[in-house]
Structure 1
């Protein structure tokens, strides 16, 4: 008859007593081996990353809308009529004429009885900054 080993002893006919070489615990008092919950970790990670992408997309969308608005104002001013060379840093006013065209002027809105479209300042990059 074979000698029976107790259940809590790790013995193999090929390896012998090899409990110290195994990658898992073999004693009764060892902690329980639990698999990590990778699915919930992935879903939390995906949720966090998606929120970050959504926030970045919103920022880029706002920047794009602001850039398009600046472009439209600059296009409107540059396509308007004016017979002088604008000076960097000066304030100019854009008016709508009765014939459907626009004109740029130094005259303030309270001094002229025309439809005022906006007040602009020319910066050093030759870009019109909409002030009011």
Structure 2
């Protein structure tokens, strides 16, 4: 019992008096060590990241849908029947004839009585830009 130190003295045989390097308080007068609320911080961080990623996903999804719609319109126009070389920047009209065959024309929908599918403009990249479409023809 002679070598026993009191409980409030921090001493070890291997390291000696080492209270100043310990990660915890060693006496009554030491400052309180409290663990921060890391769980709520993580939860808020996860929520923020999930919202941001969700927003980016929705933006990409809308861009994809728009791209697919452009692709489908271009596919429809390029597969249509026409016997002329379209000029870049001109406006063309896509129609469906009585047999159900699509054809491209310069004649506007007000000038004759054919089933009008849509109005398009050819850009410099040879992509057909939809200017106007009938409600029943929209994808």
Scaled by the length of structure 2, the TM-score of the pair is 0.81
Any gaps of 5 or more consecutive residues in structure 1? none
Unaligned stretches of 5+ residues in structure 2: 133-139
> Which deviates further from its counterpart, 76-85 or 35-44?
35-44
User: Does residue 52 of structure 2 align to residue 86 of structure 1?
Assistant: no
Equivalences, count? 132
Partner of 1:30: 30
The more displaced of 39-48 and 63-72 is: 39-48
Alignment partners' CA distance in 2, 1:21 and 1:103: 85
Q: RMSD of the TM alignment (CA)?
A: 2.2
Matched, 1:43 2:39: no
Alignment of 1:1-132 (within 5 A): 2=2, 8-132=8-132
> Aligned partners of 1:44, 1:126: CA distance in 2, in Å?
48
CA offsets 1:74-124 (integer angstroms, 9 cap, x no match): 011011111100001111111111110111111111111111111100011
TM-score normalised per structure 1: 0.84
User: 1:91–1:4: structure 2 CA closer, same or farther, 3 Å change rule?
Assistant: same
| Whole-Å separation in 2 of the counterparts to 1:21 and 1:109 | 87
